[in-house]
Structure 1
């Protein structure tokens, strides 16, 4: 039990360099770091919001768990699970309906009082009983809020014997509802949706008195063409629609999609690029189905398995929690509260607060997700309560499924592979949609590049070994294949023999400790000086490149060592390996590499073949024992054969195919189908200081497999975005046609037999009146001090509301270090990706909430950030966003630029500028300024900005004066 009370705690809001404090006596103070630390030392644990962030600003290590501070986020997670709140004092105040302006430190005790009052008012019932039991457990392990929570729940006396036991309260799988199997859904019909019907449905969704958006009804009408009947196999109805920001394209395509789904008894899959955008689309469907129950039944959000809470993993962690410390018990108790309240069980981007992992430890969240591909499906005791299985079955009956590009592309790829395995295809988790809407369509090529590439790296191969063999003596809970197959193979030599052979052969994959053997890395994620550059082989307990196959200890590690030696030998200059890595061409091969590749190919084949035999024999059981197999065993066999193909065989077969083509370099003068290269990189998922090396293979044109596996089998496809075409400013018919042809090439519809319906809907915004664009021509952007001064000046000129975009993480961090404290001295809070202990979604939530704050970010903040209103009024780009000059870009620039590589680069830069500018104006009431800190910005890039927007080149001081004047001229506001 805690010896301290939150009612007597000093309250602190930590800033950069200064700290607002409320003493236990009620005195308001503004202290420096030393003064704040002295107050904590004297008055005891403070009352804060987001303890890890406060500790960082105080120069202290993260407080850990159980936290020795009273963190209001922890109390909020207990009292209001599955409710959103930005992790700031204002964010909590808004979530509790207590915000009436600026929130200072004197508000924190009131927030604690309100939260405890909400807890006190919890009605009786099963939820209250579980909450009481969890509160008892939390106080017993020393949770700082334990005493206050027990008092609020009136649990001061002895716990009655009839009450739920604390340990049982964390076993939430006992209380979750079960799903029920339903009969297969018939194939959807082919009845079309006319443009007039789409417009009428849109009007119904919007309701009377809704804002009229120019072009929204037109968009709905043209989108209906994607739902016309397909005329021939392999030729889907394709609509390519560019809809300017503010058109209202989400409801514009939901109108015909929902009408088609209802009319034909099928699901339309709506796909976007990120999980955050999935939630934005899902929120729009509330206009279609205002009642939550109807919306849950007819609209389903789908993600990959790794995003959901795994009840079996949670059970294992709950069972071991008493031996793992109080911090684990606290985190699990709050996860249990969330698990009973969540609607989806979505751990990442769902209704679990994005800051939960930051406060309680990311390892806890990852540990209860199925992130290792170890699902045992029907053998799991919680199978019928599984969140993933619930979402899969709901998706089968839904009208609209909101997914992401990565999921729909992998699903389409599995379906294509299933053509050779009908049993696998027939039992696919989600089935194969016939109608797609691909929002954020400008990312189709990026998503396809990721989905259809191959990577044979140390981390990928080691993860496959762990999936096959299990933890191999470590404390990890990873289950090996033998344990997952369990009673399906025990006692059957026909099944045990190939399984044992595969597991024995799997020892050719990297063994535990492979990264340490591969490289000796210093704590700053770089190669050890001198040793690596002079003798790459000296850090390996492996033979030299000239060793014979018989001498090889581990063929995968030996192959990786040769890759590493080649990339170090052929890259110059950089002494450290950054997150972006170092890479080199594969050809010409270093001595011994072809032989090592051949040996590895044979070793991987020895893993794949017995696995293939095992799959075939498991499939044989389905027919041979059809009269004796129970439904659970049949379901497990079907799921395991599907998993073996996807998790192991597809990867092994891809690696073998890549290695088989390894020795033959591409012919001169022939356009290659694939680009292969070697990359040495620091992997974020590994222990700090560890490196990985891998052979990478990408399609030269990734839209070719996209068109073949997703687009061609579909019946209808709508691809839409605000930035499909490259605006060059040319207005001639030929130039417009070339822009459309380039857009079709970027999204792959040029590979389809039937032409796409093209449509362009202009934005309804008056950009000439609502925006200004400045190019600052007197800032040396290579000088971080000058760059920081520019950001500080511009952010202060706008009074906050600034989004600073960077092309390099190190420059972002350098600018943040220099301006965070000066900005806060002027009342402008600064947040930053790759600096603050928050994920991107949480950072955007904070930025949206704190209307006078500023945010620094990289590419992830350039796309898909929807912050309407005054919270985002300034976008500052530190330089022209030219494409990164890596090997992939070099080869695509060479072969796909149609002889104009310079124009190819300019097109990419213009599209990125359009996407960044599009973050600025999201509603009619918005006003904003776009600034580019690049004096050498070519004029030919300025057509990226909307017609009518004047671009002015001037110095920093003049630009700051113009920004102040622009925002002073017109009343501020937004929607």
Structure 2
């Protein structure tokens, strides 16, 4: 029987690390500041209380900390699926505790944090989620979890026995239930005045008056008018300056339309950050969490969610000791998670850093191995839950990639959405470019082989097509014959270890037989090497070359691979058709579960094998065709590439992209819808405004978003930002820093970050330069009390890095493109933004062709437009509220003035030396 809960804190010191030093709160209650060189001896055999053991060790220059009471682990156990930035200040914010102003205060706060968490666990021990908590904690303790005694005491079960069944969370998860198909939606419109009233209702009577937001909601309502003709949706292009409040501005008419017509509105974003922000904003519309869960659904690709079968595989017979603690925290989270989203949802992204990515990545379905209704956990599956909830939701928050991939595959299981809102609409071109492209590379072909044949050595649960279908095909010879033929033919795809043979002998496969796919890869590699410029560093970086004119070896290799692919395609198509025929021939005898599995199997064969193979066949036909005429405008851009990692060849192959990817986007995504709203703060390029042709910027926006390919003209709306950029911002171009000199660039970043006292976001156009600057400035900044975090260095996902940056007001963050868009950090936490150089587009073959054919005969302006959009998007991160202040610095003295014309009107732009820029930054940000 459980006893009374007790709060038992471990008798250990508390540790907070700075850079090269640490503050230690001893068990006697004394605070000591120690150099890093002395700390290892002091904490030996003590398992100190701290926050984020790997980060603490890194700051102290230690290889690792042998044992610790990490408060992040305790937080994840006691308050699963709750947000928390992984720092002492971040936990204090999450728990509504006083925020420590110094390392001393942080060290003193750590025992209070532990007490607060354990008291919460004791108070909620009767919650159904905690039914298996004691057995789980005991099992984690058996594997070495330092917090186990304290947790068991708080639960009132100090002598609980380890229970491996506690990892089997599917026993406690609800099952989804199949519902009748949704009825056809109605077609009632949303009038502009109604959108304004709904917005006012969402904001409430005491809300700040924002006329621009109401104007925006009124304009957005145009996307919810009834459709007049097939293939001719109502399209609204709405540019909303930062601070307009566009999220609630379009949620107002969207929610009203969904409520009135009985169908969901899909809101699509480019970044996970914005997807999460939109979800949080909908709490204004549905304050009750349960109602919000029903009405608002987040949808992502299957690879984002916890796969219960993967968790089952990893914990079968009890979790292995080296994973027992990490999987225990995952199990706690899974019982509390809103939707099972491992990436960007309510999963603590820092768990992967505490225990290594190998503890989390295998839990998602990253290899297309879902077996759908054949899975024993199918009825509890998080993905299936989200699919079914989306059918009855009012708002579905998705991302561009999912929306476009579903459209490319036929519109998803329930057909294409009728109403679409594309936020971050300036990214539609890039998202469509990715969704409607094809890659005939070693990695892609090897993935199809693995999906067909399953694991061929190594540790993998890849089942292969035969294992997936064995219960469906039974002893039927008519199904076995095409399956056998397809699997035999699949051996012409790259064999395990193929990257090492890119430069080798065609017969050097493990079974010493020629391989058509590998022969094509070698021919592609040879052509790239023959056509690219030889430089001193050529062997270190990726290379590419035009497809035509082809070398003598490439057409014959393409022909052989094409024949090999057809030998896979034909029996696979026959197998799919014969499986599908069972749905009609055996309609009276098939169980509903078998029917679902047959439908899923047919879809999977199409999507995972037949569609890529057919795309590859079309590409290979181009290799064997006559070369195009010079200067002719192509529909597709084809080229060959060679990828390298660590100076070694890692992949090769052929790529195909649409010259204008907004064409397939318009036809496959927009045209089937009844209404489409495309919105962003940066739809147009204001620098190209022409008094003689005021519509020019709108025409360019329509071309970049695909609206120009639709039959009806788009409704255009522009709402200015309410912010006073002239008074609240400065733009400085530093003229005496050589951007090619890594030392000078690093010194500039350091001086500017110090002048701002932290709160700086550094943006880079290359990961290599980011790493170099981080190496040079991390120590000096941390010695000055400014923590430095970095994308591609700190093993946190981007959302967690932004959470840390937001919580740590005086921290700095280095990042690349992903930190330029969709990041919302209001207040002083982001007061300085430094760009290492002008973000010109990469000079690739694909960019060359688009620059030639899509620029309207003005290729220079095409490059300028891309760079201006990127600078403007970055600038938009600075001011998120009316009282924000910020300085934008560009460390590129060669930056043309015309690129800065895209910044908001009134921004003061000055060119000056680094010393002056530092002084100006310090003075401007110090002003009250």
Range class of TM-score, shorter chain? over 0.9
The aligned residue for residue 458 of structure 2 is 474
For residues 300-341 of structure 1, the C-alpha deviation after alignment (integer angstroms, 9 at most, x for no partner) is 11111111111112111111555xx41212222111111111
Q: Please, what TM-score do these two structures have when normalized by structure 2?
A: 0.96
Question: 2:689 touches 2:696 (CA, 8 Å); kept in 1?
Answer: no
Runs of 4+ in structure 1 deviating by more than 6 angstroms, as ranges, are 687-690
By how many angstroms is 1:893 displaced? 0.8
Structure 2 matches for 1:338-349, cutoff 5 A? 338-349=333-344
Q: 1:404 is matched with which residue: 399, 404, 419?
A: 399
Structure 2 matches for 1:439-458, cutoff 5 A? 439-458=423-442
The aligned residue for residue 878 of structure 2 is 920
By how many angstroms is 1:574 displaced? 5.1
Partners of 1:239 and 1:921 lie apart in 2 by: 26
Does residue 222 of the first structure (1) align with residue 219 of the second (2)?
yes
Q: 2:829 is matched with which residue: 871, 883, 896?
A: 871
Question: 1:805 touches 1:876 (CA, 8 Å); kept in 2?
Answer: yes
Which region of structure 1 is more displaced relative to structure 2, 708-717 or 365-374? Answer: 365-374
Structure 2 matches for 1:414-813, cutoff 5 A? 414-415=409-410, 428-518=412-502, 537=503, 540-542=504-506, 553-571=514-532, 572-573=534-535, 575=537, 581-664=542-625, 665-682=627-644, 691-728=650-687, 730=689, 732-734=691-693, 736-813=694-771
Question: 2:121 touches 2:154 (CA, 8 Å); kept in 1?
Answer: yes
By how many angstroms is 1:727 displaced? 1.4
Secondary structure class of the residue paired with 1:662: helix
Question: 2:100 touches 2:109 (CA, 8 Å); kept in 1?
Answer: no
Partners of 1:484 and 1:141 lie apart in 2 by: 35
Structure 2 matches for 1:123-162, cutoff 5 A? 123-157=125-159, 159=161
Does residue 259 of the first structure (1) align with residue 256 of the second (2)?
yes
Question: 1:454 touches 1:654 (CA, 8 Å); kept in 2?
Answer: yes
Structure 1 unaligned regions, length at least 5: 160-164, 417-427, 519-536, 971-975
Q: Please, what TM-score do these two structures have when normalized by structure 1?
A: 0.91
By how many angstroms is 1:485 displaced? 1.0
Q: 1:944 is matched with which residue: 887, 902, 915?
A: 902
Partners of 1:756 and 1:50 lie apart in 2 by: 51
Secondary structure class of the residue paired with 1:779: coil
By how many angstroms is 1:887 displaced? 1.5
Which region of structure 1 is more displaced relative to structure 2, 568-577 or 405-414? Answer: 568-577
Partners of 1:599 and 1:60 lie apart in 2 by: 55
Does residue 298 of the first structure (1) align with residue 262 of the second (2)?
no
Aligned residue pairs total 915
By how many angstroms is 1:55 displaced? 2.5
Question: 1:462 touches 1:510 (CA, 8 Å); kept in 2?
Answer: yes
Q: 2:32 is matched with which residue: 21, 29, 32?
A: 29
| Structure 1 residues 225 and 644, CA gap change in structure 2 (3 angstroms) | same
Question: 1:6 touches 1:70 (CA, 8 Å); kept in 2?
Answer: no
The aligned residue for residue 75 of structure 2 is 76
Partners of 1:883 and 1:459 lie apart in 2 by: 26
| Structure 1 residues 729 and 680, CA gap change in structure 2 (3 angstroms) | closer
By how many angstroms is 1:104 displaced? 2.4
For residues 762-783 of structure 1, the C-alpha deviation after alignment (integer angstroms, 9 at most, x for no partner) is 0000111111111111111111
Structure 2 unaligned regions, length at least 5: 1-7
| Structure 1 residues 125 and 72, CA gap change in structure 2 (3 angstroms) | closer
Partners of 1:309 and 1:577 lie apart in 2 by: 39
For residues 221-273 of structure 1, the C-alpha deviation after alignment (integer angstroms, 9 at most, x for no partner) is 11111111111111111101111000111111111111111111111110000
The aligned residue for residue 531 of structure 1 is none
Partners of 1:800 and 1:166 lie apart in 2 by: 47
Question: 1:53 touches 1:837 (CA, 8 Å); kept in 2?
Answer: no
Partners of 1:459 and 1:100 lie apart in 2 by: 48
Partners of 2:525 and 2:661 lie apart in 1 by: 27
Partners of 2:450 and 2:527 lie apart in 1 by: 27
Q: 2:363 is matched with which residue: 362, 365, 368?
A: 368
Secondary structure class of the residue paired with 1:841: helix
| Structure 1 residues 729 and 446, CA gap change in structure 2 (3 angstroms) | closer
By how many angstroms is 1:11 displaced? 2.8
Question: 2:152 touches 2:160 (CA, 8 Å); kept in 1?
Answer: no
Question: 2:13 touches 2:46 (CA, 8 Å); kept in 1?
Answer: yes
Structure 2 matches for 1:821-840, cutoff 5 A? 821-840=779-798
Question: 2:554 touches 2:623 (CA, 8 Å); kept in 1?
Answer: no
By how many angstroms is 1:690 displaced? 6.9
Partners of 1:154 and 1:800 lie apart in 2 by: 45
Question: 1:297 touches 1:398 (CA, 8 Å); kept in 2?
Answer: yes
For residues 446-489 of structure 1, the C-alpha deviation after alignment (integer angstroms, 9 at most, x for no partner) is 00000001011111111111111111232211111111112101
Question: 2:761 touches 2:814 (CA, 8 Å); kept in 1?
Answer: yes
Question: 2:642 touches 2:649 (CA, 8 Å); kept in 1?
Answer: no
Secondary structure class of the residue paired with 1:728: helix
Q: 1:317 is matched with which residue: 308, 314, 317?
A: 314
For residues 534-580 of structure 1, the C-alpha deviation after alignment (integer angstroms, 9 at most, x for no partner) is xxx4xx24259xx9xx99611111111222222233332253666x7
Partners of 1:889 and 1:577 lie apart in 2 by: 23
Q: 2:348 is matched with which residue: 348, 353, 367?
A: 353
Question: 2:21 touches 2:60 (CA, 8 Å); kept in 1?
Answer: no
Q: 1:244 is matched with which residue: 230, 238, 241?
A: 241
The aligned residue for residue 395 of structure 1 is 390
Secondary structure class of the residue paired with 1:899: coil
Q: CA RMSD in A?
A: 2.0
Partners of 1:881 and 1:148 lie apart in 2 by: 52
By how many angstroms is 1:158 displaced? 6.0
Partners of 2:671 and 2:478 lie apart in 1 by: 40
By how many angstroms is 1:62 displaced? 5.2
Which region of structure 1 is more displaced relative to structure 2, 601-610 or 118-127? Answer: 118-127
The aligned residue for residue 4 of structure 2 is none
Partners of 2:476 and 2:780 lie apart in 1 by: 72
Question: 1:778 touches 1:956 (CA, 8 Å); kept in 2?
Answer: yes
Partners of 1:629 and 1:714 lie apart in 2 by: 34
